[in-house]
C-alpha cells in the first residue's frame, strides 16, 4: 500500500460551505479549524503538534473508538509513546519521512490500544504549514486494516497445519515403502524410491517455509543438494556460479526434483562416484527478443567413464516431462568426454520469474 495525502484544505472548505461560513484562508490551518473539519469524519484522524516526538493536540471520535482512549486521555500525550509498541520505531520513522519529504517510509503500522490489544492501520500523513516561527501541524488519518492481517494470520496457520499433515503423510509413505519392499526388492530400488519421496517431501517443506511464493534458485539448490542426496564429504566438490533468481513455487518444485535426479546419478555413477570429480552448476538470465530466459547447466568433470545413454530412465523422463511439458522449457542431457552435461532452459517474465 502507498501513502496518500489528506485533502485537509478541501475538507475544511466543504465543511464551511455546508455551514454557510466563508472558506478559511488556505495558508494556515488553526487547531480550531482542523477540529471542526475532522470531528465528524468516520475516518479516524489525529492532529499532532511537532514531528516524531509530537504531542497530540486532539483526535476525533473515530480515532478514540479505534484506540480505546477518550479525548482527554489523548490530548497532550506523545502519539508514539502512547500507542506505539515497545521497541517498535516504525511510527517514528514514518513521521520522520513525512517531515523531511523522504520517499519510501512505512505505510502500515501496528498500534497498541488502551486495553493492551493491538490493531493494524495504514497512515496518511499531511504536514500543514504553520504561522511564522511556529511548527506546522501533522494530520494523521488512519485506515483500520486489522481484519486483513487477521485473515492473513489465519491463512498462515492453516498452511502450517496443512503442510504439517503433508509431512506426516510423506513419513507414513516412506515407512510403508520400506516395510512393504523389505526382502522383496533390491536395496538399490528401495533406496532410489525412498530418496525420491524424501526429496519431494523436502521440496514441499521449502514451499511451506516461503509462503509468499518468492523462492530463490539458491534456496532450491540448497534443498535439493543437501544430505543424504549429496553426502557432506562431497559437498565441497560442488561449484555454484550465478546471481540469484526468484522462482515461483511450481518452478521451484520441478527444478528441485530435476536437481535431485542429477545429484543421485552423479553420486552413484558420475563425477561424485570417484575421488577427483567435480560438478559445476552455472546459471544466467538471457534476454532474447521475446522475454528473458533462465539457462542452467549441470556439468560433471573428472569422474569415471560413463556408459552411453541408450535408454531414458525415470529420472530423465521426470526432468523432460517437468521442464518441457510442465513449464514450457527445454532439457537436454549429453554424455561428453569430460562427463555428463545437462542444459535446462526456462522462459522468464520481465520481473525475472517464470510465467
Which of 182, 131, 125 has the alpha carbon at shortest distance from 29?
Answer: 131
First to last CA, the chain: 25
Topology given in CATH for the domain delimited by 149-348: Heat Shock Protein 90 (3.30.565)
User: CA 221 to CA 217: how far, in whole Å?
Assistant: 6
Residue 227, pLDDT above cutoff 90 = yes
- Mean pLDDT for the chain overall: 81
Read off the pLDDT of residues 46-105 as tens digits, 9 standing for 90 and up: 888 865 467 888 899 999 999 999 988 998 888 888 888 777 777 777 777 665 555 444
Candidates 3.40.120.10, 3.90.45.10, 3.30.450.20, 3.50.50.100; CATH matching 8-144 = 3.30.450.20
Read off the DSSP letter of residue 87.
T
* Residues 115 and 132: beta-carbon distance below 8 Å: no
Question: Which uninterrupted H or E stretch holds 72?
Answer: helix 71-74
What pLDDT is stored for residue 211 in this prediction? Answer: 61
SS3 content of the chain, % helix, strand, coil (to 5): 45, 20, 35
pLDDT in tens, 235-259: 999 999 999 988 878 888 889 999 9
Domain boundary assignment for the chain: 8-144, 149-348
340 pLDDT higher than 60:
yes
Task: Look at the pTM and tell me if it is higher than 0.85.
Answer: no
- Between CA 206 and CA 354 the distance in angstroms is 18
pLDDT tens for 5-55 read 445 555 556 666 777 777 655 545 677 778 888 888 889 998 888 654 678
| 170-195: average pLDDT | 86
Amino acid at each position: 500500500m502507498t501513502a496518500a495525502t489528506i485533502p485537509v484544505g478541501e475538507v475544511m472548505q466543504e465543511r464551511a460551505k455546508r455551514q454557510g461560513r466563508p472558506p478559511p484562508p488556505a495558508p494556515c490551518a488553526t487547531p480550531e479549524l482542523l477540529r471542526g473539519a475532522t470531528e465528524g469524519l468516520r475516518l479516524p484522524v489525529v492532529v499532532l503538534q511537532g514531528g516524531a516526538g509530537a504531542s497530540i493536540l486532539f483526535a476525533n471520535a473515530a480515532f478514540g473508538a479505534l484506540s480505546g482512549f477518550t479525548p482527554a486521555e489523548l490530548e497532550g500525550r506523545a502519539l508514539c509513546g502512547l500507542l506505539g509498541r515497545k521497541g517498535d520505531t516504525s511510527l517514528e520513522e514514518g513521521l520522520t519521512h513525512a517531515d523531511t519529504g523522504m520517499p519510501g517510509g512505512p505505510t502500515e503500522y501496528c498500534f497498541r490500544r488502551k486495553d493492551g490489544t493491538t490493531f493494524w492501520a495504514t497512515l496518511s500523513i499531511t504536514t500543514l504549514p504553520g504561522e511564522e516561527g511556529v511548527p506546522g501541524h501533522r494530520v494523521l488519518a488512519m485506515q483500520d486494516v486489522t481484519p486483513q492481517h487477521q485473515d492473513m494470520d489465519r491463512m498462515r496457520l492453516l498452511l502450517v497445519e496443512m503442510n504439517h499433515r503433508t509431512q506426516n503423510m510423506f513419513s507414513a509413505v516412506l515407512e510403508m515403502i520400506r516395510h512393504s519392499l523389505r526382502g522383496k526388492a533390491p536395496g538399490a530400488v528401495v533406496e532410489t524410491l525412498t530418496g525420491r519421496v524424501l526429496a519431494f517431501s523436502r521440496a514441499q517443506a521449502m514451499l511451506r517455509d516461503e509462503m509468499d511464493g518468492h523462492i530463490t534458485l539458491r534456496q532450491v539448490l540448497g534443498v535439493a543438494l543437501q544430505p543424504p542426496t549429496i553426502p557432506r564429504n562431497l559437498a565441497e566438490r560442488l561449484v555454484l556460479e550465478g546471481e540469484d533468481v526468484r522462482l515461483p513455487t511450481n518452478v521451484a518444485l520441478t527444478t528441485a526434483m530435476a536437481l535431485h535426479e542429477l545429484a543421485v546419478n552423479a553420486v552413484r555413477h558420475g563425477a561424485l562416484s570417484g575421488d577427483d570429480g567435480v560438478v559445476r552448476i552455472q546459471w544466467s538470465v538471457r534476454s532474447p527478443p521475446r522475454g528473458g530466459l533462465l539457462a542452467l547447466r549441470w556439468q560433471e568433470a573428472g569422474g569415471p567413464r560413463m556408459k552411453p545413454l541408450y535408454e531414458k530412465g525415470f529420472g530423465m523422463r521426470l526432468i523432460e516431462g517437468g521442464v518441457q511439458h510442465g513449464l514450457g522449457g527445454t532439457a537436454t542431457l549429453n554424455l561428453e568426454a569430460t562427463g555428463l552435461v545437462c542444459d535446462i532452459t526456462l522462459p522468464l517474465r520481465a520481473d525475472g520469474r517464470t510465467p
